[in-house]
Amino acid sequence: MIIYPTIELLNGSCVSLFRGRLEEPHIWHVNPLEKTRSFADAGADWITITDFDAMNGSDQNSGLIEEIILQAGASVQLGGGFRSIGQITDWIERGAGRIVVGTLAVIAPDVVKQAAKMYPDQIVISVDVFQGSVMSDGWRNPSAITPQSFVQTFEKDPIAAIIVTDIDANLEEADDSLALVTELAGIAKAPVIARGLSRSLDDLARLKYVPHISGAIISRALFDQSIDLDEAVALAAEAPEETAEFI
């Protein structure tokens, strides 16, 4: 399993959002570039960057993200505000290893399919689910699309991965928080990355036993030190222990 330490950027700062609210960010007083370097030093091969300003059409973080891509020492998976193939091409040419699209996949799936053909294994689909529906525009707008049908829309395309966020579980910390990601991992053709389900090493240990889960995105837990990245990377690298079959 691959650990994806994540930095969420707003106004050039590392932040965490409460229930997706841009107007109520928790600001972490750390240098974003230094933080990404520390992630790479801890053994992370990939770092996810989410640019909240780009979701609102601003490119104010572009210079910082370019620095991270060039200097972090790990591959970058970049998401936030992608609405065209031109934007995707621009950031791939700037060195982003993968591009994460969510809203674009909801409103223009054919554009995402075209991008996947142009850049095989570099396009990641973000599936953000709340109360059984796929959300768009930064969790603000529900669609009429079920997560199951949404995943199946791209089953024949060369998608690098699918990020699944169960927003219900992310907000309520339900005991059955693995239910949705487990179901989607069972039907997805691309590797599935779980987001919002890793608040402790115990959570990561549970994820390792979910079939077809290829990775976990971790953000807040690394900043508030609920998870030590060195320990998380080591845990993810361990081969899962065999489990008994139940008859």
- Comparison of pLDDT for 175 and 241, the residue scoring more: 241
Q: Which positions ≥6 away from 63 have C-beta within 8 Å?
A: none
Rounded to an integer, the average pLDDT of 170-197 is 80
Across the chain, the runs of DSSP E, i.e. the strands, are: 2-10, 13-18, 21-28, 46-51, 75-79, 98-101, 123-130, 133-136, 141-142, 161-166, 192-195, 213-218
Q: 128 catalytic, yes or no?
A: yes
pLDDT score of 25: 87
Decide if 169 is inside a domain: yes
Q: What total number of domains does the chain contain?
A: 1
Decide if 113 is inside a domain: yes
**How confident is residue 230, by pLDDT bands cut at 50, 70 and 90?**
very high
Decide if 179 is inside a domain: yes
Closest C-alpha among 162, 242, 238, 190 to residue 1: 238
Coil, strand or helix: which one is 201?
helix
Residue 20 has pLDDT above 80, yes or no: no
Residue 244 has pLDDT above 70, yes or no: no
Decide if 243 is inside a domain: no
Query: Residue 77 is part of a domain; what is its CATH number?
Result: 3.20.20.70
At 22-70, the pLDDT tens digits run 777 899 999 999 999 999 999 999 999 999 999 989 999 999 999 999 9
Q: 157 catalytic, yes or no?
A: no
Catalytic residue among 128, 157, 166, 203: 128
pLDDT score of 82: 96
Tell me the pLDDT of the chain averaged across its residues.
Answer: 90
Q: Are 47 and 7 in contact (CB under 8 A)?
A: yes
At 104-120, the pLDDT tens digits run 999 999 999 999 999 99
At 154-165, the pLDDT tens digits run 999 999 999 998
**How confident is residue 246, by pLDDT bands cut at 50, 70 and 90?**
very low
Strands 213-218 and 192-195: parallel
Q: 13-27, 120-134, 140-154: which range is least confident on average?
A: 13-27
Decide if 54 is inside a domain: yes
C-alpha pair distances (Å), 117 with each of 17, 85, 113, 114, 137 = 33, 11, 6, 5, 24
Decide if 120 is inside a domain: yes
Decide if 26 is inside a domain: yes
Residue 241 has pLDDT above 80, yes or no: no
Decide if 247 is inside a domain: no
Catalytic residue among 8, 157, 166, 203: 8
Distance separating the N- and C-terminal Cα atoms of the chain? 28
Domain that residue 127 falls in: 2-237
Coil, strand or helix: which one is 148?
helix
Q: Which positions ≥6 away from 239 have C-beta within 8 Å?
A: none
